[in-house]
Amino acid sequence: MQSRIRDSLGKTEAAFLSKVGKQRFFTIEEARKILGQRENSPMGQFLERLMKKGWIVRLKRGLYVAVPLSATDEGGPQVHEFHIAMHLVSPAAIAYWSALNHHGMTEQLPRTVFVVTNHLVRYPPNEVLWFSYKIVSLRPHRFFGITKGWIDDGPFAITDREKTIVDGLDLPEYVGGVGEIAKALRRFWKDLDHKKLFSYAARMGNVAVVKRLGFLMEALALGDAAALREQVSLSKGFSPLDTLLPRKGTHNRRWGLLVNVKDLA
């Protein structure tokens, strides 16, 4: 792995980055304080120079991150992508495929970092430090089931296991398909809080979530699907089991699903 070559630093630049230290993330106002500049003094040229030299990256307007010396173009040791995600939007939580992987419920390692928030983001970032980010805007009543995680001595917010499962059933395309959720349910059913899982599924306000969960429970012989069915009145019509696949398959009238997945093993 070849290290990234960056231009050398001037005395003021080196002192500035040294003071940023482990904090790494900083605003324009914080940069002014570090340099002892007056309020509203111009910082554009100084920060632009550090960006061109490859020592800092702008995450969004007014917010920057210092790039560690050990970072490489191939994605070597650097600021962890989950920590970056926490600064791209607020509030934020790691979710979907990224959360599924972090919880150890999938062997797939998504290159895209999935992040949820509770409001519309007009100009979401595409890529930061060699990672792509997908910010999903949820309605406020769906922004729940969030816990705290730790990586590299830093905290981040992430959906808990049950909410990760439910989110994947709500939008299977963000977890690699319903098959990934089926695998997670089969392998980790005993580790899940089933009461919480059922409550979350009903709370989402998307009947398709309950339909998919109930169908998978019966197909995989897991738990009491009848108890789940009693909690929610299933709507008429047929929802696709997997939104990633063509709408071709058999109709399951018990759960109101178009079963377009041949193998859930």
Q: Could you report the per-residue pLDDT of 198-244, keeping only the tens digit for each?
A: 999 999 999 999 999 999 999 999 999 998 888 778 888 899 999 99
- Same domain for 50 and 86? no
Q: Could you report the per-residue pLDDT of 68-104, keeping only the tens digit for each?
A: 765 554 444 478 999 999 999 999 999 999 999 999 9
Assign residue 53 the CATH number of its domain.
Answer: 1.10.10
Q: Which domain holds residue 39?
A: 11-66
Q: Could you report the per-residue pLDDT of 12-71, keeping only the tens digit for each?
A: 999 999 988 778 899 999 999 999 888 777 888 999 999 999 899 999 889 999 987 655
Please, which residues have CB within 8 angstroms of residue 34's CB and are 6 or more apart in sequence? 16, 19, 20, 26
pLDDT at site 231: 79
- Same domain for 176 and 228? yes
Give the global pTM. 0.89
- Same domain for 24 and 120? no
pLDDT at site 232: 79
- Same domain for 157 and 232? yes
Question: How many independent structural domains does the chain possess?
Answer: 2
> What CA–CA distance (Å, rounded) separates 102 from 80?
13
Indicate whether 106 belongs to any domain: yes
pLDDT at site 76: 44
pLDDT at site 248: 95
Bridge-based pairing of strands 154-159 and 239-240 is unpaired
- Same domain for 114 and 145? yes
Task: Provide the percentage of residues in the chain whose pLDDT is more than 70.
Answer: 94
- Same domain for 19 and 56? yes
Q: What is the mean pLDDT of the chain?
A: 90
List C-alpha distances in Å: 154 to 24, 55, 62, 175.
12, 21, 22, 25
Q: Could you report the per-residue pLDDT of 102-149, keeping only the tens digit for each?
A: 999 999 888 899 999 999 998 888 888 889 999 999 999 999 999 999
